[in-house]
Amino acid sequence: MKTYLVTGGAGFIGSHVAQALSEGGAAVRVLDDLSTGREANLAGIGGRIELVRGDVRDRALVERAVRGADAVFHLAAQVSVARSVEKPDLTYDVNVGGTLVVLEAMRAAGARRIVLSSSCAVYGDSEVLPKTEDMQPEPISPYAGTKVAGEHLCAMYCRLHGLEAVSLRYFNVFGPRQDPASEYAAAVPRFLERMTAGERPAVHGDGRQTRDFVYVANVVDANLLAAGAAAAAGQALNIGSGRSISILDLVAEINAALGTALEPVHEGPRPGDVRHASGTIDRAKRQLGWSPRVGLGEGLALTARWLAGKKGR
Give the pLDDT confidence score for residue 184 in this predicted structure: 56
Of 212, 190, 215, 188, the residue nearest 299 (C-alpha): 215
Give the pLDDT confidence score for residue 155 in this predicted structure: 95
Give the pLDDT confidence score for residue 291 in this predicted structure: 97
Please state which CATH number belongs to domain 3-174+214-241+279-293. 3.40.50.720
Give the pLDDT confidence score for residue 271 in this predicted structure: 78
Arithmetic mean of pLDDT, 233-241: 96
Task: Please answer whether residues 171 and 277 qualify as being in contact, where contact means their C-beta atoms are separated by less than 8 angstroms.
Answer: yes
Spatial separation of the C-alpha atoms in residues 221 and 303, rounded to whole Å = 17
HSE, side-chain direction, 13 A CA sphere, residue 267:
7
pLDDT digits (tens, 9 = 90+) for 8-59: 999 999 999 999 999 999 999 999 999 999 999 998 776 689 999 999 999 9
Arithmetic mean of pLDDT, 92-119: 98
Arithmetic mean of pLDDT, 265-278: 85
Task: Name the 3-class secondary structure at 139.
Answer: coil
CA 196 from centre of chain: 25
Give the pLDDT confidence score for residue 183 in this predicted structure: 58
Same fold, 3-174+214-241+279-293 and 187-210+244-277+300-312: no
pLDDT digits (tens, 9 = 90+) for 84-105: 999 999 999 999 999 999 999 9
DSSP bridge partners of 174: 215
User: For this structure, is 157 an active site residue?
Assistant: no
* Strands 213-215 and 172-174, sheet pairing: parallel
Give the pLDDT confidence score for residue 126 in this predicted structure: 84
CATH class for the domain made up of 187-210+244-277+300-312 = alpha beta
Spatial separation of the C-alpha atoms in residues 244 and 278, rounded to whole Å = 6
Spatial separation of the C-alpha atoms in residues 69 and 110, rounded to whole Å = 9
- Between 155 and 313, where is the model more confident? 155
Alpha helices in the chain (DSSP H): 12-23, 59-66, 81-86, 88-92, 98-109, 142-161, 187-196, 216-226, 247-258, 282-288, 296-312
pLDDT digits (tens, 9 = 90+) for 167-221: 999 999 999 999 887 655 678 999 999 999 999 999 999 999 999 999 999 999 9
pLDDT digits (tens, 9 = 90+) for 54-91: 999 999 999 999 999 999 999 999 998 889 999 999 99
Domain residue spans of the chain: 3-174+214-241+279-293, 187-210+244-277+300-312
Please determine, for residue 312, whether its predicted confidence score (pLDDT) is greater than 70.
Answer: no
Give the pLDDT confidence score for residue 309 in this predicted structure: 84
CB atoms within 10 A of CB 293: 10
Mean pLDDT of the residues in the chain: 94
Give the pLDDT confidence score for residue 95 in this predicted structure: 98
CB atoms within 10 A of CB 108: 13
pTM for this one? 0.95
Element (H, E) at 118: strand 113-119
Q: Annotated catalytic residue: which of 92, 123, 143, 157?
A: 143
76-99 CB burial, b ≥16 within 10 A, e <16:
bbbbbbebbbeebeebbebbbebb
DSSP bridge partners of 5: 29, 72
Give the pLDDT confidence score for residue 251 in this predicted structure: 97
Give the pLDDT confidence score for residue 308 in this predicted structure: 87
Please determine, for residue 150, whether its predicted confidence score (pLDDT) is greater than 60.
Answer: yes
pLDDT band at residue 153, thresholds of 50, 70 and 90? Answer: very high
Percentage of the chain with pLDDT > 90?
A: 86
